[in-house]
Amino acid sequence: MKLVLGARYWRGLLAVLAVAACLGLAVAAPATSASPSTNKPTCNLVSPALIKKVLGFSVQPPQVTVSGNELTCRYEIPKLYQSVAVHFTSGMTRQSFEYFRDAYSKGTKTTTVKGLGQEAWASVVSLYGATASTLAVLKGSEELMVQSPGPLAPVEALARAVLPKIRT
């Protein structure tokens, strides 16, 4: 199996630095090695109203980025100068999910989250009074990753609200 460390991996390394500098969140998610799903998620699965309800942040409509098998929905939080990022990656394999969890954990501590998808992990970074949480879930061949300022519990609640909407 050939794995390519793409822009998402390098932005993941920058995420830790951005939090340390209190600049906000950056993108961090594993690459894929399988074919994309035909039922690709859209940013419509995560509305600004859902983010407000679950995370408590008033956000702007999403800035949408598509890169290969990854869809990124970035919701700016104007009052905090930060963002909530939701990533959907199609064609994810268990091997690539685990590989990039391990790579991510070299820069920050990750923990296993039980009861979400086939497999899930989370990371919480707190520096200089700022906390940022990341949660990645594998469901079939789809990965859902949520990154947000604040504690893990609301991020997990958002993932639980979105996961049933993802068809694999």
Residue spans of the domains in the chain: they are 7-165
Per-residue pLDDT, 39: 64
Written in H, E and C, the secondary structure of the chain is CCCCCCHHHHHHHHHHHHHHCCCCCCCCCCCCCCCCCCCCCCHHHCCHHHHHHHHCCCCCCCEEEEECCEEEEEEEECCCCEEEEEEEEECCCHHHHHHHHHHHCCCCCCEECCCCCCEEEEEEEEECCEEEEEEEEEECCEEEEEEEECCHHHHHHHHHHHHHHCCC
Per CATH, domain 7-165 is 3.90.1200: no
Per-residue pLDDT of the chain (168 residues; tens, 9 = 90+): 333 333 343 334 334 333 333 223 333 333 333 334 446 899 999 999 999 999 999 999 999 999 999 999 999 999 889 999 999 999 999 999 999 899 988 889 999 999 999 999 999 999 999 999 999 999 999 999 999 999 999 999 999 999 999 987
Query: Tell me, what's the pLDDT at 98?
Result: 94
What's the CA dihedral at 78, 51, 140, 136 to 10 degrees?
50
